[in-house]
């Protein structure tokens, strides 16, 4: 029935327009001609609105969620009052901050659901009120009698409109009440977060102060009960229980997706292992592909951590602890060589750190456990660093990791000392942060290894049914891997800063420094704008260079393009991305692009005064890109400089000579002067060799011998065939010219040498002499006694 009414409601206005219906007048009354159609349309609308009013049952779910959230907010408000927060450990404060954020997200989700249901109800209520007012105005202006047929229908419609408004009023009022309660809860969450944030800032400012007696004093072994001990229970465990009691659709979806992906992942990895083993893939990738269950378990645990990143810290760390075993099996060879069995110690230290956080409410046990943890971490890291320092042949990775380990060993020692002298908060923060950072770094190594193996699969994958060539994605793969590793490194750095309570202070410092204005005269800019400008320009350079390498190395060679088009497309794309990136950088930094007209005007004046050569070379570069008289790799001769074109830029072209020199030639010079391109249409090169034999040799025999010898030299092309010519009579020899072709110009010098050696050996075996230069001297005047002296 509701679908029929909806169709009628949609078709009636079309019918009204087709009949030439006139709109309502200025007072909102309805014309007499439109009364029948409006009666039908408004009646259908009333039926739909009355049906929509029956959705009051949907408020029960939202009301139950609001009631549960109200209970959680009231409990958290009591437990996070300023007086209670002062006696809690730092880990409990962090847990309460995350609890408030979690409750705030739940309130925002419920409020969004309420607003989604309120919107159509409010819209229908407003439409009903407008229609009711329009019909009241129409009845008054037209003077319709209630007893008449048309008047009775109008009166019935007016009563239906009023009934529908009353029916909508109840669910609308309930929804507004729930929305108001959600708003009050959001305000309470904001106040609770403020209390915790202020206490955290106070603790951060007081990290250098002593908060407990030194361990050599007796009162240190009998600490007074903390606020958490007086309250009873564990803050993080309570949060974990409350968190798990709430349904998490995203987590359930992630688990279902991972379970469905398991058989495909195992089959795919085993299939890839067999295929890539035949293709000669590196053993590093085979290590990952040969352990599909460990790979799936690591991916599942990481996925669960990312799916509920706002959950309890304890839950995240327990998932990280479960990832120890697959991460150990999936470590790259370099990390296994560096750490070996030390990885087990890192897992043990991380387990002790979790126990220390669970005992945070017990001051004495927490202090002693953190002291043991800091001391053990300092000794373990220091011992590893000393052993690594004595090894020979250390790589850059070894030196970098050794430097990081040395810093962490020093921080662990500082944490132990701080714990002993009485700064338990600082000691606990540093010790737990160092151990957590080391463990997360090792997990990041394993994740990077798995991602590298997965990213390398497309490069060598062959179809099971159709033999396909390898995919040319070398440059793209390198760029993707670089971004992945950079992302993992940045994530590890942010995690470390957050674990050491340095992320928020550094963020606040960056905001303050970014607001500082610098400039000259009227030109003012903030440090944040300048930083954004530099960052975007650097990113544009990297993106343009990477895109250029991908196009030139992977994409364009696979396309059938005319000679030189690929290089032109790659180069022009490079400069186009740079131009767009520079404009975006100026816009992101706060500069108005409209003011660039002044800069362009100044540039025009500069061109007229002394930048003609720059503009000419730039335009010549564009011409070279379009006409393509040369491309990278061509062998050219320009003014006696012979070499290969290494790069064609927008201003100049670089030529690498065979002597090892780099000649930078302005593009204007390439178009203005004569240039010889030896490889414009092909890489073939003709070799010409002159040979002389002694007089008395049979020229025909020599011709045949030279022809046969030349054809037998490897590398000499048969098309065009080599040619041997008798060139003339020399002063002391019969001269012959040998002309042969090679397919590659780079082999011309080597082939010329091989041809000369082969001809020398052939002439020697045939007893054909290669004469020395001879001269006949005629003495016209001979002094007396000259013969005796000779």
How many CB atoms are closer than 10 A to CB 783?
8
- Reported as a pLDDT band with limits 50, 70 and 90, residue 434 is very high
Task: Select the more confidently predicted residue: 788 or 203.
Answer: 203
Distance, in Å, from the CA atom of 259 to the CA atom of 252, rounded to the nearest integer, reads: 11
Task: Specify whether the backbone of 286 is left (phi greater than 0), alpha (psi in -120 to 50) or beta.
Answer: alpha
DSSP character for 552?
I
Specify the DSSP element, H or E, that contains 140. helix 90-142
pLDDT mean over 129-151: 72
Q: Is the pLDDT of residue 404 over 80?
A: yes
pLDDT mean over 618-636: 77
Decide: helix, strand or coil at residue 630: coil
- Reported as a pLDDT band with limits 50, 70 and 90, residue 620 is confident
Question: Of 66-75, 109-118, 545-554, where does mean pLDDT reach its minimum?
Answer: 545-554
pLDDT tens digits along 486-526: 888 888 899 889 888 888 888 888 888 888 777 665 666 77
Distance, in Å, from the CA atom of 186 to the CA atom of 50, rounded to the nearest integer, reads: 32
Give the pLDDT score at 409: 92
Give the pLDDT score at 18: 35
* Exposure class string for 456-481: b at 16+ Cβ within 10 A, else e: bbebbbeeeeeeeeebebebbbbbbe
Give the pLDDT score at 70: 92
Decide: helix, strand or coil at residue 737: strand
Task: Select the more confidently predicted residue: 202 or 790.
Answer: 202
Task: Select the more confidently predicted residue: 701 or 340.
Answer: 701
Q: Is the pLDDT of residue 190 over 90?
A: yes
pLDDT mean over 22-29: 43
Question: Of 107-111, 131-135, 314-318, where does mean pLDDT reach its minimum?
Answer: 131-135
Q: Is the pLDDT of residue 775 over 90?
A: no
- Reported as a pLDDT band with limits 50, 70 and 90, residue 149 is low
pLDDT tens digits along 344-400: 888 889 999 988 888 877 778 888 899 999 999 999 888 888 888 767 667 787 888
Distance, in Å, from the CA atom of 95 to the CA atom of 93, rounded to the nearest integer, reads: 5
Give the pLDDT score at 22: 36
Task: Select the more confidently predicted residue: 138 or 723.
Answer: 723
Give the pLDDT score at 648: 79
Distance, in Å, from the CA atom of 724 to the CA atom of 704, rounded to the nearest integer, reads: 8
Mean pLDDT, all residues of the chain: 78
164 is written with which tokens? 């529908």
- Reported as a pLDDT band with limits 50, 70 and 90, residue 550 is confident
pLDDT tens digits along 557-585: 667 766 667 777 777 788 888 888 888 87
Decide: helix, strand or coil at residue 727: strand
pLDDT tens digits along 222-231: 666 655 545 5
Residue recorded with tokens 């364009």? 556
Q: Is the pLDDT of residue 185 over 90?
A: yes
Task: Select the more confidently predicted residue: 459 or 53.
Answer: 53
pLDDT mean over 58-68: 84
Nearest to 360 by CA among 223, 243, 207: 223
Percent with pLDDT over 70 in the chain: 78
Question: Of 262-266, 488-492, 756-760, where does mean pLDDT reach its minimum?
Answer: 262-266
Specify the DSSP element, H or E, that contains 741. strand 734-742
Percent with pLDDT over 90 in the chain: 8
Task: Select the more confidently predicted residue: 121 or 273.
Answer: 121
Task: Select the more confidently predicted residue: 53 or 127.
Answer: 127
Distance, in Å, from the CA atom of 516 to the CA atom of 637, rounded to the nearest integer, reads: 56
């Amino acid at each position: 029935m509701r679908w029929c009414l909806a169709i009628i409601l949609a078709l009636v206005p079309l019918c009204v327009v087709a009949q030439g219906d006139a709109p309502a007048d200025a007072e909102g009354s309805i014309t007499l001609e439109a009364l029948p159609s409006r009666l039908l349309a408004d009646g259908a609308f009333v039926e739909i609105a009355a049906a929509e009013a029956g959705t009051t049952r949907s408020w029960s779910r939202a009301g139950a969620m609001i009631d549960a959230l109200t209970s959680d907010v009231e409990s958290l408000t009591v437990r996070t009052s300023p007086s209670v927060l002062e006696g809690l450990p730092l880990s409990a404060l962090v847990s309460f901050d995350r609890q408030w954020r979690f409750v705030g997200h739940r309130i925002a989700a419920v409020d969004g659901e309420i607003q989604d249901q309120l919107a159509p109800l409010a819209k229908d209520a407003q439409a009903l009120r407008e229609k009711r007012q329009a019909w009241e105005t129409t009845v008054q202006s037209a003077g319709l009698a209630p007893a008449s047929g048309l008047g009775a229908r109008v009166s019935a419609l007016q009563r239906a409109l009023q009934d529908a408004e009353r029916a909508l009023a109840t669910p609308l009022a309930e929804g507004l009440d729930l929305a108001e309660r959600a708003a009050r809860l959001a305000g309470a969450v904001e106040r609770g977060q403020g209390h915790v944030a202020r206490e955290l800032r106070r603790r951060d400012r007081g990290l250098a102060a002593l908060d407990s007696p030194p361990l050599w004093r007796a009162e240190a072994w009998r600490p007074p009960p903390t606020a958490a001990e007086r309250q009873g229970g564990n803050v993080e465990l309570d949060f974990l229980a409350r968190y798990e009691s709430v349904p998490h659709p995203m987590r359930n979806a992630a688990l279902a997706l991972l379970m469905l992906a398991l058989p495909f992942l195992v089959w795919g990895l085993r299939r890839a292992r067999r295929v890539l083993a035949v293709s000669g893939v590196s053993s590093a990738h085979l290590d990952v592909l040969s352990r599909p269950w460990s790979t799936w378990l690591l991916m599942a645990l990481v996925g669960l951590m990312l799916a509920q990143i706002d959950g309890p810290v304890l839950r995240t760390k327990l998932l990280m602890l479960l990832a120890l075993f697959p991460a150990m099996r999936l470590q790259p060879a370099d990390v296994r060589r560096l750490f070996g069995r030390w990885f087990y110690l890192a897992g043990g230290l991380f387990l002790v750190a979790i126990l220390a956080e669970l005992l945070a409410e017990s001051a004495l046990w927490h202090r002693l456990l953190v002291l043991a943890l800091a001391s053990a971490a300092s000794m373990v890291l220091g011992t590893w660093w000393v052993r690594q320092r004595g090894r020979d042949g250390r790589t850059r990775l070894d030196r970098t990791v050794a430097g990081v380990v040395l810093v962490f060993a020093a921080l662990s020692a500082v944490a132990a000392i701080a714990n002993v002298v009485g700064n338990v908060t600082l000691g606990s923060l540093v010790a737990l942060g160092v151990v957590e950072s080391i463990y997360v770094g090792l997990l990041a190594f394993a994740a990077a290894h798995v991602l590298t193996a997965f990213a390398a699969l497309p490069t060598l994958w062959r179809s099971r049914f159709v033999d396909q060539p390898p995919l040319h994605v070398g440059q793209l793969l390198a760029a993707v891997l670089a971004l992945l590793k950079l992302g993992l490194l940045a994530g590890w750095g942010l995690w470390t800063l957050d674990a050491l309570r340095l992320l928020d202070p550094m963020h606040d410092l960056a905001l303050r420094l970014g607001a500082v204005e610098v400039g000259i005269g009227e030109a003012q800019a903030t440090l944040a704008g300048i930083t954004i400008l530099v960052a975007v320009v650097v990113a544009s350079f990297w993106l343009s260079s990477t895109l250029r390498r991908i196009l030139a190395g992977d994409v364009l060679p696979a396309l059938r393009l005319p000679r030189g088009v690929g290089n032109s497309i790659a180069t022009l794309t490079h400069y186009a991305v740079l131009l767009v990136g520079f404009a975006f950088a100026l816009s992101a930094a706060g500069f108005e692009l409209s003011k660039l007209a002044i800069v362009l005007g100044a540039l025009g004046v500069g061109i007229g005064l002394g930048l003609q050569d720059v503009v000419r070379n730039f335009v010549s570069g564009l011409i070279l890109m379009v006409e393509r008289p040369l491309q990278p790799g061509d062998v050219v001769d320009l003014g006696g400089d012979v070499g290969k074109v290494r790069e064609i830029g927008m201003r100049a072209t670089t030529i690498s000579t065979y002597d090892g020199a780099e000649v930078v030639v302005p593009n204007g010079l390439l178009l203005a002067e004569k240039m010889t391109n030896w490889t414009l249409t092909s890489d073939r090169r003709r070799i010409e060799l002159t040979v002389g034999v002694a007089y008395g040799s049979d020229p025909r025999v020599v011709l045949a011998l030279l022809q046969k010898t030349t054809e037998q030299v490897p590398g000499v092309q048969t098309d065009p065939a080599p040619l041997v010519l008798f060139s003339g009579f020399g002063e002391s020899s019969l001269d012959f010219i040998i002309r042969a072709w090679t397919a590659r110009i780079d082999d011309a010098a080597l082939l010329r040498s091989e041809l000369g050696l082969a001809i020398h050996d052939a002439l020697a075996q045939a007893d054909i002499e290669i004469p020395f230069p001879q001269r006949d001297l005629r003495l016209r005047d001979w002094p007396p006694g000259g013969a005796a002296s000779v």
